[in-house]
Amino acid sequence: MLYGKHILVIISGGVAAYKAIELIRLIQKAGGTVQAILTKSATEFVSPLTISTLCGRPALTALFDLTRETEIGHIELSRSADLIVIAPGTANILAKLANGIADDLATTCLLATDTPIMAAPAMNVRMWEAASTRRNLALLANDGVQFVGPDEGEMACGEFGPGRLAEPPVILEAIVAHFERANRPKPLAGKHAIVTSGPTREPIDPVRFLSNASSGKQGVAIAEALAALGARVSFVTGPAQYRQPRGCAVIDVETAIEMDRAVEAALPADIAVFCAAVSDWRVETPADDKIKKDADETAPTLTLVANPDILRRVSSLAGGNRPRLVVGFAAETSNLLENAKAKLKRKGCDWLLANDVSPASGTFGGANNTVTLLAGEAVEAWEPMDKQAVAQKLATRIAESFQRDRRI
């Protein structure tokens, strides 16, 4: 799978650094060769001797190695590799990469390279959720850095949440996929796509909210399919349970208003795919404290107001502010085609993918989907398929429409 490929693995200083040992072995078993760089902090978790033995070549740690630097070692290292993989990618090294800081061998190589970079983040959940980390990740994604993970689970510090390093087999899978994508045509190169995904959460009080069962799987698949065809993807997601897409700029939101603002900030775009299951209503005035039961257990009255209609607003933008192709989704539980046709006309989008999300369909949270594509007066029923296949078919149709320089 990786025969003839040379991977530069940068190991930064987190407790997950020990997993780099397994990753190196997996790369080698797949036919690749590995050169490793350890940051100073990484050497506190794994031994350079262990890494050197595995790689069959010295693991590097020092920027000012006179033998190597007489040959401009950091330049040679950064450009001889076919891919640079940062695993684990701590908040510190990602912040340095995002802001162009080069104060050791690892970060100097990263700044000097024109080789693709893949990062597998690993950090405490609070660090992962910090506003500065989110900004840095968005900058890196816009710079073309690919991401694998992180996973969600229990941390070494005892906390639980997103921030765990993706498992080495998953990172290997992403490395292999990178080289497979590199050999594919890129018909959407130079295009910017916005994809919305997942549910939104509308607060009732500090512990309750209005939401739905969307997993975000279909949105992730669409984002990755568009990225695989060369598009730069801004992925705006509500609090979904499914993993985030690789190779995309991820913008996390909670409410419909936050999603609307995030989409507005991501414009202009060539393509907009609105796959998110946005709550139609929100509580007009959420309670500041948890709502308590009355003595007679009378249910509280909630006053609901309409949320922004993001799909309709973007579809109605004028001139160059409107994406050339706007695609909506219609999640229906009955009268699928009738409701979808009405929604297409009402929203003003170019295409609409209608799908049955009734409990019997298993679409929400499931692996499969059955959609019908509406484009103008044309109606095209797609056979049942998994969500990855739906995404690939949609991305291919989008690419074809741009190549023909007209909408279907």
In the annotated binding site for CTP, the residues are: 280, 290, 308-311, 329, 343, 347
Find all residues with CB under 8 Å of 384, minimum gap 6, and list them: 368, 369, 370
Within 8 A by CB and 6+ apart from 372, the residues are 336, 337, 340, 353, 354, 355, 379, 380, 381, 382
Report the amino acid identity of residue 142.
Answer: N
CB burial of residue 243 (10 Å; 0-12, 13-18, 19+): middle
What one-letter code names the amino acid at 406? R
Which residue bears the tokens 């040679």? 76
* Strand locations in 168-286 (E): 192-197, 202-205, 208-210, 232-237, 249-252, 271-274, 281-283
**H or E stretch covering 305:** strand 304-306
Q: What residue numbers does the annotated binding site cover?
A: 280, 290, 308-311, 329, 343, 347
Beta bridge partners of 389: none
| φ, ψ dihedrals at 293, nearest 5° | -70, 140
DSSP string, 39-86: -TTGGGTS-HHHHHHHHTSPPB--S--HHHHTTTHHHHHHHH-SEEEE
**Which residues are tagged catalytic?**
157
- Please state the φ and ψ torsions of residue 245, each to the nearest 5 degrees: -75, 150
**How many other C-beta atoms can be found within 10 angstroms of the C-beta atom of residue 3?**
8
Q: Within the chain, what is the greatest distance between any pair of CA atoms?
A: 82
**Rounded-to-integer distance, Cα 232 and Cα 270, Å:** 10
How far apart CA 197 and CA 293 sit, in angstroms, is 34
3-state secondary structure of 156: coil
Q: Is 346 helix (H, G, I), strand (E, B) or coil?
A: helix
- List Cβ neighbours of 258 (8 Å cut-off, separation of 6 or more): 200
Count of Cβ atoms closer than 10 Å to residue 206 Cβ: 12
**DSSP conformation class of 401:** H
